[in-house]
Chains A and B, each alone.
Chain A
Amino acid sequence: AQSVSQHNHHVILSEAASLELGCNYSYGGTVNLFWYVQYPGQHLQLLLKYFSGDPLVKGIKGFEAEFIKSKFSFNLRKPSVQWSDTAEYFCAVNEGTGFQKLVFGTGTRLLVSP
């Protein structure tokens, strides 16, 4: 079965620091890749997605992610974080191109101190 690993469970950064959150998945075939963000007390919102094409994907709020097929990775980056980025971040993978039967990582809690 497909699995997703997020290496960092808790990350604490100061404002303006750079962010990189790791995500690795196990499926070797065609995948769709997602990063979702969950602000405190809210539902999941899509940050960015990769279906095909340019492996460097830009999302909302200055986030980007790079798909490296050879490493089965889809790491999330942001050059300079803000206090408002405090949230939980989930990497998710869907096998193939059919129904979005998402497999989620365990999440990374990011705390940005002002």
Chain B
Amino acid sequence: NAGVTQTPKFQVLKTGQSMTLQCAQDMNHEYMSWYRQDPGMGLRLIHYSVGAGITDQGEVPNGYNVSRSTTEDFPLRLLSAAPSQTSVYFCASSPRGSEAFFGQGTRLTVV
């Protein structure tokens, strides 16, 4: 079992560029989510999904899009990168009624 796999691990973008952070889980978990981690702020929820075809906004959704066409995949799209989106991004999945399992993270720098 690979668990939750995120790619890439590191990325540098120029302001205005777009990109997609990939997240895949092989545990058949119903729920998936994206968080960003910033120094002194803990983790904050960006978007989440309670099943294929169902997504919703979290605490800090602006500038990000998600879709969930399959149970396994939950990509996060940055539409037009800004320096304020420099962060570490974590994808998580969880079965109904249980704890979240996190991926290794993607460290994104926007210059």
Compute the total of residue contacts between A and B using a CB distance below 8 Å: 55
| B91 to A: closest C-beta gap in Å | 10
Contacts of B44 in A (CB 8 A): 104
| A97 interfacial by beta-carbon distance below 8 Å | yes
Q: A99-B31, A100-B33 are in contact. Are A42 and B45 (CB under 8 A)?
A: no
Please pick, from B41, B50, B90, B96, the residue contacting A44 in the complex, using a CB distance under 8 A.
Answer: B90
Q: Secondary structure at chain B's binding surface: helix, strand, loop or mixed? A: strand
| B53 interfacial by beta-carbon distance below 8 Å | no
Q: Which of B29-55 contact A (CB under 8 A)?
A: 31, 33, 35, 40-45, 48, 50
- On chain A, the number of residues with a Cβ less than 8 Å from chain B's Cβ atoms is 23
Contacts of A45 in B (CB 8 A): 102
Contacts of B97 in A (CB 8 A): 51, 97
Contacts of A51 in B (CB 8 A): 97
Please pick, from B41, B42, B90, B94, the residue contacting A100 in the complex, using a CB distance under 8 A.
Answer: B94
| B89 to A: closest C-beta gap in Å | 11
Contact A106 B41, beta carbon cutoff 8 Å: yes
Contacts of B43 in A (CB 8 A): 44, 90, 92, 102, 104
| A2 to B: closest C-beta gap in Å | 10
| A43 interfacial by beta-carbon distance below 8 Å | yes
Q: Residues of B with Cβ closer than 8 Å to A? A: 31, 33, 35, 40-45, 48, 50, 58, 90, 92, 94, 96-105
Q: Residues of A with Cβ closer than 8 Å to B? A: 4, 9, 34, 36, 42-46, 49, 51, 90, 92, 97, 99-107
Q: What 6 A-B pairs come out closest when comparing CB atoms? A: A104-B42, A44-B102, A104-B43, A106-B42, A43-B102, A100-B94
